[in-house]
Homo-oligomer: A and B are copies of this chain.
Amino acid sequence: MPRGRAPTYDAQREAILAGAAKLFAERGYSDVSMIEVARACGVSKPLLYHYVRDKDDLLVLICEGHVSRLVELVRETIAEESEPQARLKLMIRRFVEAYAEARHEHRVLTQDVKFLTGAGKARVLAHEREVVAAFADTIALLRPEAGAEGLHKPLTMLLFGMINWMFTWLKPEGELTYEAMAPVVTELFFGGIGAVRSPVTAKKTRRKPTPKETLA
């Protein structure tokens, strides 16, 4: 009979993922070596490889763990609040909170996705799409006409832009906190969506380009 994993295995692994996330967030996935991850976590390199298959796996585990929690968070919020305005406000507040609690993981997710490959990349992107869709659907309920204008997806991405970009300029040791910024983002977005008038697509139907146009 196998002895099974040590009781400390899962905790140790979580500690390694957190330590690696911090290094990746600060210096980027490619510029951090496995020996640096190992040292930062107080383990030898071979022991690090006992917890993760390889460097790619480490990145996937960090990204997937974080994005899975985000998916859970939007599902819970949708289940518990059906009124669109209240739901979107709650989503924004919870997202900013979740990001603040997992700053390093979130930074890795936004800056190092391009290094993901294969099945891991597919899973992470699928989760991201679910999160974006949940926001876009709620915005569509708030502004039904935005859908016909092709606006609710772009509006969603502008909202994500405000939130995601915060983590490049807001320093955690600073006076300005993530909690203080959440209502500012909310007010700016709610105040703004009513004012957006420009349709983003001039045409609804897209012509097939003629061979001449394609070559030009």
**Residues in A172-207 with C-beta less than 8 Å from chain B:** 175-176, 180-181, 183-185, 187-198, 200-202, 206
For A181, list chain B residues within 8 Å (CB).
Answer: 154, 200
Contact yes or no, A169 B157, CB < 8 A: yes
Of A6-14, A118-126, A159-167, which stretch is located at the interface? A159-167
The interface size of chain A toward B, counting residues with CB under 8 Å, comes to 47
- Tell me if A175 and B201 are in contact (CB < 8 A): yes
Binds B, one of A24-32, A41-49, A65-73: A24-32
Check if A158 is an interface residue, CB within 8 A of chain B.
yes
A180 and B200: CB pair below 8 A?
A: yes
Measured in the bound complex, the distance between the Cα atoms of B153 and A184 in whole Å is 12
Q: Is residue A58 within 8 Å, beta carbon to beta carbon, of the partner chain?
A: no
Kindly list chain B residues whose C-beta atoms are within 8 Å of the C-beta of A187: 192, 195-198
Chain A interface helix/strand/loop/mixed: helix
A111 at the interface (CB under 8 A from B): yes
A169-B110 Cα distance, complex, nearest whole Å: 12
12 A-B Cβ contacts within 8 A? A27-B114, A28-B28, A111-B111, A157-B166, A158-B162, A160-B165, A161-B162, A187-B195, A187-B198, A188-B195, A191-B196, A192-B195
Which B residue's beta carbon lies closest to that of A206?
B175
Contact flags A83-105 to B (C-beta < 8 A → 1, else 0): 00000000000000000000000
Nearest CB of chain B from residue A215's CB, rounded to whole Å: 16
Contacts of A200 in B (CB 8 A): 176, 180-181, 184
Residue of B nearest to A200 (CB): B180
Closest to A180 in B: B200
Contacts A158-B165, A180-B201, A191-B196 supplied; 8 other A-B pairs, CB < 8 Å? A28-B30, A111-B111, A154-B181, A162-B165, A180-B202, A187-B195, A191-B194, A192-B192
